[in-house]
A and B are shown apart, each in its own frame.
Chain A
């Protein structure tokens, strides 16, 4: 069974204090690893897709990296507006040609002034 574990569960940073969020996974036949951001009362908002070990993607203050067993979301010089829950998910093939994303429980990030 596919599993995704995110750590830490919660993280409090000062504005400008860089850090990393971790996503460890086990999956048979990884098709992609996804990072989403979720604000309270909203649906997950797509950030990145990573497909193979060694791949990196960047967007503003965020950078996602992937190895064969885990992914990191690096946050450089965060601002209060980066406060949100960050979700990691793995995509595996499903018999019948379907598509299943298995999510971790997320890291709740709070950035303070």
Chain B
């Protein structure tokens, strides 16, 4: 068990809808990362937060947004969902903003119908 908690485990929704994925980092970790894993593309970096502030941005769509709250949990919001957004969404956490190991949760499987 990595100590990173993600909820929900599964989410099924329709195109055009909006969903929120939640992540609680390991105790003591200040940085949170979001990754998307689809069958054909592997793990793709979306965004990183450190102690509430955005630190790095990957190929995150404008329809997606994230934030990290004062208690360090993070939420990833996905809106105007499309069929192609169906994927596994992983959250990871680390102690420091750079140069440290990322520990991953078990993901949220999103299915858009």
Residues of A within 8 A of B (CB): 31-32, 34, 36, 41-46, 49, 87, 89, 91, 93-94, 96-106
Contact = CB atoms under 8 A, between A and B. Distances in A.
B25 interface: no
A87 B94 CA distance: 18
Contacts of B31: 99
Interface residues of B, number: 29
Given A34-B101, A43-B105, A100 B2 contact: no
B99 interface: yes
A105 B106 contact: no
26 contacts: A32-B99, A34-B102, A36-B104, A42-B106, A43-B104, A43-B106, A43-B107, A44-B104, A46-B101, A46-B103, A46-B104, A91-B99, A94-B55, A94-B56, A97-B55, A98-B48, A99-B31, A99-B48, A99-B56, A99-B96, A99-B97, A99-B100, A99-B102, A100-B56, A103-B42, A105-B42
